[in-house]
């Protein structure tokens, strides 16, 4: 059995240390108030038993709480008092060096929590360590100086989660939709160098990757680009290649028929598209940004975004090549084709590609093949999205279809209907057209719904009282995020605010006007709806007894966001949080505060957002249909998934699921497995096994447990992770049942 030290490092549980600590407090009191030797051992053994059944790797702080409980249970209150005083004194001694200890432990790669904080960061790499070191200093400054005490306390207790506090000290925002069209068509500046409009598709792709890297280094969340913004450069290259071919023919004195010239041009054009797409894929995978990971970028593939039929055909060629290359994968260090985490791909299902007789159905077939092998692309239903995302003046069915920012965070519809009168001064502004590219999210704070429920002790009136108190606490925390960005000068990130990615403001100008009026969003996240409903009603939120309460909870959060928005002219929006490491943190905090409650706090994780519990048996189509109603009530971000077996030999079933998505839910994905063992060449599913209370990954063929030689890819939070996960998330992955 292992425990987590305060520094974050993981060590073997030592019963003798607990016995020694109790004895030390015991010796501080009078003989007649002391525990007997047998009671000391009994208390220590009880603590050991509680650690064994905790359901997660316990921390030193949790063990000390247990020691206090056991001493009190034996009616030795003076001994307990001495033990508490000892803890307090030691706490004062540690206040000066906690941050130092954490930094030193992560440098030596023995900080277990940091090692598994982000499934796409390798903590042994210097650049990642540098980012984590800066993050520890920033978190310390944030908690001591920048945030109100009640927000810090609630965050540390797992009542709320103040996301990305390691970046809060800087004036940085979360995620965005990059206005790539403006930057490519009208020029930009990168590192003081003017980048003019590219003269070929391959050059446009190269510039796009440079923009992606620069944007990633100026913010902490995900970014999204659209392939539509690259499509016009296909025609630029086509004309350039045609001139080259005609010149070659003239030089050779050959008079070739037009159809032959066109054939040669298209062949060469296809080759350039292949090279350009390859540039994006390989640059994104191999780029290391300042935070020590590949850029978290989403690539959007939407045929109806094209401005003409000719451009749509060119866009289709780019999409086709993107899917083909992603299906192939990338080679690992052993030369084996594996699944990369990024770029994330989103494919829009629309009238032109969703049925067998539609002109672009071949792209949907290719997308299905890619999904079955590489878990991407994810799918947005144009039909459902245009029912839900309505800018000013739009009717259901004629709304807007656009990509999310990163993994699931969606902008609110354009409430001006007129591109906010181009307050960002973009050069591709179109009056009367809703605006999405160039907008962004200010940040996220998440409420732990399970804690609200457990704190009410199943008293429904008390639940709503506590709920409102916690929501107001989240509101204050979100105001901190907003106010931290107020006054930010455009000079802080020129690529974002001056050179077109988000705006073209003047040097020295603040970004304040972009924080109001709906131009940017700010997100109230939520987690654990299933467990909240289970505790309050005794049933899953999929059951008839639980669904109405679940819907009431969701509506209440939406109402609060609307109330804050009306009062402050800031677009608060409800967001289904993609918990990664936080799912484990919340679970541990719940167990510490409320103990083990069957079906509620008995796991090392809580359920993401509104999702059906991972262990609940439910059909894929029923799951998507059920969760679709919650996507409507989660306008700031939502994604649903179905867990499927290896579908590479059953692509018809994959397409059937995709067609169901088109008709029934706005945004969804299919989860399969994509693994490889470098030791024996096994390419089936790498399994999760238990070893001395810890979950580890193991090759079922050769027994290899070395994470350095195991390539494991799983979608955990709306995006794919490849660097493994903490114990809570690993347990959640293990518990997943198939839906198909």
Residue with tokens 């709806």: 529
Q: What is the DSSP letter of 35?
A: P
Q: At what angle do helices 201-216 and 232-252 cross, to 10 degrees?
A: 150
Any catalytic annotation for residue 580?
yes
Any catalytic annotation for residue 333?
no
Residues 6+ apart with CB under 8 A from 268: 241, 245
Catalytic entry in 436, 575, 667, 719? 575
Catalytic entry in 136, 580, 643, 731? 580
HSE-CB at 156 with a 13 A cutoff on CA atoms is 13
C-alpha to C-alpha distance for 165 and 157, rounded to whole angstroms? 15
Nearest to 580 by CA among 737, 410, 726: 726
Q: Cα torsion for 599, 602, 605, 606, to the nearest 10°?
A: 30
- CB burial of 557-578 (b: ≥16 within 10 Å; e: otherwise) equals bbebbeebbeeeebbbbbbbbb
Token pair for 97: 């060096």
Compute CA distances 131 → 23, 136, 289, 313, whole Å.
42, 9, 10, 43
From the CB of residue 461, how many other CB atoms can be counted at a distance below 10 Å? 8
Residues in the chain: 740
Residue 380's region, left for phi above 0, alpha for psi from -120 to 50, else beta, is: beta
Any catalytic annotation for residue 718?
yes
C-alpha to C-alpha distance for 297 and 501, rounded to whole angstroms? 14
Catalytic entry in 381, 441, 455, 608? 441
Is residue 729 within 8 Å of 716, Cβ to Cβ? yes
CA end-to-end span of the chain: 36
C-alpha to C-alpha distance for 392 and 384, rounded to whole angstroms? 18
Residue with tokens 């994959």: 654
Is residue 26 within 8 Å of 40, Cβ to Cβ? yes
- SS3 per-residue string spanning 381-404: EHHHHHHHCCCCCCCCCCCCCCCC
C-alpha to C-alpha distance for 608 and 153, rounded to whole angstroms? 23
Any catalytic annotation for residue 398?
no
Catalytic entry in 138, 202, 409, 628? 409
C-alpha to C-alpha distance for 710 and 701, rounded to whole angstroms? 12
Catalytic entry in 172, 175, 385, 557? 175
Catalytic entry in 7, 26, 111, 174? 174
Any catalytic annotation for residue 554?
no
Any catalytic annotation for residue 662?
no
Catalytic entry in 405, 454, 589, 666? 405
Catalytic entry in 218, 407, 480, 561? 407
C-alpha to C-alpha distance for 222 and 211, rounded to whole angstroms? 13
Catalytic entry in 292, 419, 443, 718? 718
Any catalytic annotation for residue 78?
no
Residue 109 phi, psi dihedral angles, 5° rounding: 60, 35
C-alpha to C-alpha distance for 312 and 138, rounded to whole angstroms? 46
Respond yes or no on whether the N-terminal peptide bond of residue 496 is cis (omega within 30° of 0): no
Q: Cα torsion for 263, 265, 266, 267, to the nearest 10°?
A: 80
Residues 6+ apart with CB under 8 A from 327: 366, 369, 370, 373, 374
Residue numbers annotated as active site: 174-175, 405, 407, 409, 441, 575, 580, 718
């Amino acid at each position: 059995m292992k425990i987590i030290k305060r520094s974050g490092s993981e060590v073997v549980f030592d019963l003798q240390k607990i016995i020694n600590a109790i004895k030390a407090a015991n010796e501080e009191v009078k003989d007649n108030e002391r525990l007997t030797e047998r009671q000391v051992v009994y208390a220590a053994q009880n603590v050991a038993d509680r650690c064994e059944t905790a359901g997660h790797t316990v921390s030193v702080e949790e063990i000390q709480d247990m020691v206090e409980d056991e001493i009190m249970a034996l009616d030795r209150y003076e001994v307990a008092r001495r033990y508490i005083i000892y803890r307090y004194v030691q706490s004062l001694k540690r206040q000066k060096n906690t941050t130092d200890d954490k930094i030193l432990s992560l440098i030596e790669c023995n900080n277990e929590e940091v090692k598994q904080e982000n499934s796409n960061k390798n903590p042994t790499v210097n650049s990642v360590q540098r980012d984590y070191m800066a993050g520890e200093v920033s978190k310390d400054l944030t908690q001591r100086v920048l945030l109100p005490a009640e927000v810090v306390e609630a965050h540390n207790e797992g009542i709320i989660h103040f996301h990305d506090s390691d970046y809060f000290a800087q004036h940085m925002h979360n995620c965005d939709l990059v206005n790539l069209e403006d930057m490519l068509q009208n020029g930009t500046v990168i590192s003081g160098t003017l980048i003019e409009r590219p003269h070929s598709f391959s050059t446009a792709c190269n510039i796009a990757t440079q923009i992606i890297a620069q944007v990633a280094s100026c913010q902490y969340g995900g970014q999204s680009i659209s392939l539509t913004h690259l499509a016009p450069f296909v025609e630029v290259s086509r004309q350039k290649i045609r001139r080259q071919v005609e010149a070659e023919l003239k030089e050779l004195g050959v008079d070739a028929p037009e159809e032959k010239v066109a054939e040669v041009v298209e062949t060469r054009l296809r080759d350039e598209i292949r090279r350009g797409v390859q540039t994006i894929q390989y640059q994104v995978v191999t780029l290391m940004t300042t935070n020590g990971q590949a850029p978290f970028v989403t690539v959007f593939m939407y045929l109806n975004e094209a401005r003409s039929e000719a451009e749509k055909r060119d866009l289709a060629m780019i999409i086709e090549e993107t899917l083909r290359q992603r299906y192939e994968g990338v080679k690992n260090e052993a030369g084996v084709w594996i699944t990369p985490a990024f770029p994330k791909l989103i494919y829009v299902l629309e009238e032109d590609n969703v049925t067998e007789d539609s002109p672009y159905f071949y792209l949907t077939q290719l997308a299905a093949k890619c999904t079955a092998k590489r878990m991407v692309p994810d799918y947005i239903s144009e039909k459902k999205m245009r029912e839900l995302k309505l800018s000013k003046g739009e009717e259901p069915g004629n709304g807007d279809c656009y990509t999310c920012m990163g993994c699931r965070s969606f902008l609110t519809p354009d409430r001006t209907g007129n591109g906010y009168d181009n307050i960002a001064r973009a050069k591709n502004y179109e009056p009367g057209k809703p605006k999405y590219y160039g907008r962004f999210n200010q940040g996220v704070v998440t409420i732990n719904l399970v804690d609200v429920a457990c704190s009410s002790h199943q008293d429904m009136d008390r639940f709503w009282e506590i709920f409102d108190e916690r929501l107001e606490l989240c509101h204050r925390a979100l105001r901190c995020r907003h106010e931290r960005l107020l006054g930010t000068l455009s000079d802080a990130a020129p690529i974002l605010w001056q050179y077109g990615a988000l705006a073209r403001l003047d040097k020295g100008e603040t970004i304040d006007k972009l924080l109001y009026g709906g131009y940017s969003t700010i997100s109230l996240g939520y987690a654990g709806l299933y467990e909240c409903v289970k505790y309050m009603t005794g049933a899953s939120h999929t059951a008839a007894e639980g669904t109405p309460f679940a819907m009431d909870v969701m509506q209440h959060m939406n109402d609060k966001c609307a109330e804050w928005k009306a009062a402050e002219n800031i677009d608060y929006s409800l967001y289904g949080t993609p918990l990664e490491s936080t799912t484990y943190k919340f679970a541990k905090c719940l167990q510490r505060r409320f103990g083990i409650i069957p079906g509620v706090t008995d796991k090392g994780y809580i359920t993401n957002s509104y999702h059906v519990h991972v262990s609940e048996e439910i059909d894929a189509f029923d799951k998507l249909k059920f969760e679709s109603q919650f996507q409507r009530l989660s306008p700031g971000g939502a994604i649903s998934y179905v867990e499927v077996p290896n579908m590479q030999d059953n692509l018809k079933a994959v397409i059937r699921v995709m067609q169901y998505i088109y008709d029934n839910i706005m945004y969804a994905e299919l989860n399969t497995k994509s693994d490889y063992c470098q030791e024996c060449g096994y390419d089936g599913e790498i399994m999760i096994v238990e070893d001395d209370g810890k979950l580890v990954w193991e090759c079922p063929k050769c027994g290899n447990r070395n994470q350095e030689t195991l390539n494991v890819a799983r979608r955990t939070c709306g995006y794919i992770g490849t660097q493994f996960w903490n114990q809570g998330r690993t347990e959640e992955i293990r518990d997943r049942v198939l839906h198909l």
